[in-house]
Chain A
């Protein structure tokens, strides 16, 4: 069951990557553009494991304070369905996040940006069920996110450290993403983007490493609406066989309202 909690920790940070304001799907972006206000974003994740299935449906509300700072919160509905045990559902731990741009270098049709990102998880979800919906742990993650984006491709990287309480293992996250547009760039956008990458988690206290290979596709239908879906499969997973992940299927939308 602890593994389910650890899966929850991992999903927290995969889920927050939905705040990318464009590509990529599974890695954070340093580009704090495209919102200039508020929007609602969803990014459902169906996680198939050997001993359980987990469904996470978040709604994120980001808000830009100027062009270099963004804050936001994430509400999540979580359903955990372990093999042989009754499924449990509920509202997950509350997440707040803040991003601050540290560096920006622009050219014609290209940009390099670097941001710092802080994710704060509050243990607000219920923990009196089996399996538990909440992590019962305060978690703070500080990460650096860099990206080099041109009209022809986007290359993104993220590395961060997640501090946890209540005897949960701390972890280092490391993500890489590559985005390739399949259609000519134009404005207003009507774009298909191919996404590939890796998503890694190294649990420092237990020396356990997990790396998922990620692939997905985005369809940007207009200035304000984006659909995306992707599949992640483990290529390194240092856990007992019964706890292994089969795949993670994701699908979501990003809709800018204001």
Chain B
């Protein structure tokens, strides 16, 4: 009887270990997914008065580490792009980048969802 109880205890222990290991793996996977997730940045840019001029800004933004999904809404006066969530530039750096391209960053927003459906990416 004692041996039977002991055997059951071992089985329960093994089961718990298996569940715990699985949960841990699941958590690790989630962490990996989070590391690869994107943050979307929207910058309201003053002075963007001609589409031809915005190309310099695009080139500057594309130099930002992990940036992608870039687009310009010239008539609305903003640009948007994505970066890896663990590589979000500071607001100060973003303003500096826009200034170096010859424009003025009036307002910066971030989101975990795209600001606009991206069609041509």
Contact = CB atoms under 8 A, between A and B. Distances in A.
Band of interface residues on A = 35 or more
Given A109-B75, A151-B75, A185-B74, A36 B60 contact: yes
Contacts of A150: 49
Contact of A106 (B71, B100, B103): B103
Chain B contact residues: helix, strand, loop or mixed: mixed
Contacts of B56: 33-36
Given A34-B55, A36-B60, A187-B54, A108 B101 contact: no
A109 B48 contact: yes
> Among the interface residues B53, B56, B99, B102, which one has the most CB atoms of the partner chain A within 10 A?
B102
Contacts of B58: 223
A48 to B, nearest CB: 30
Contacts of B103: 106
Contacts of A223: 52, 55, 58
A15 B27 CA distance: 65
A22 B53 CA distance: 7
Contacts of A226: 52
Contacts of B77: 108-109
A111 B47 contact: yes
A256 interface: yes
B75 A185 contact: yes
A107 B101 contact: no
Contact of B102 (A33, A108, A154): A33
Nearest to A101: B102
Contacts of A104: 47
The 9 closest A-B pairs by CB, nearest first: A106-B47, A189-B51, A36-B56, A106-B46, A33-B53, A187-B72, A111-B47, A22-B52, A149-B49
20 contacts: A22-B50, A22-B52, A31-B50, A33-B50, A33-B53, A33-B101, A36-B56, A36-B59, A67-B99, A106-B103, A107-B46, A109-B48, A109-B49, A110-B47, A151-B74, A185-B74, A187-B71, A223-B55, A223-B58, A226-B52
Given A67-B100, A187-B74, 9 more contacts: A21-B52, A33-B101, A33-B102, A34-B56, A108-B44, A108-B77, A109-B74, A187-B73, A256-B55
Interface of A: 21-23, 31-37, 66-68, 104, 106-111, 149-151, 154, 184-189, 191, 220, 223-224, 226, 256
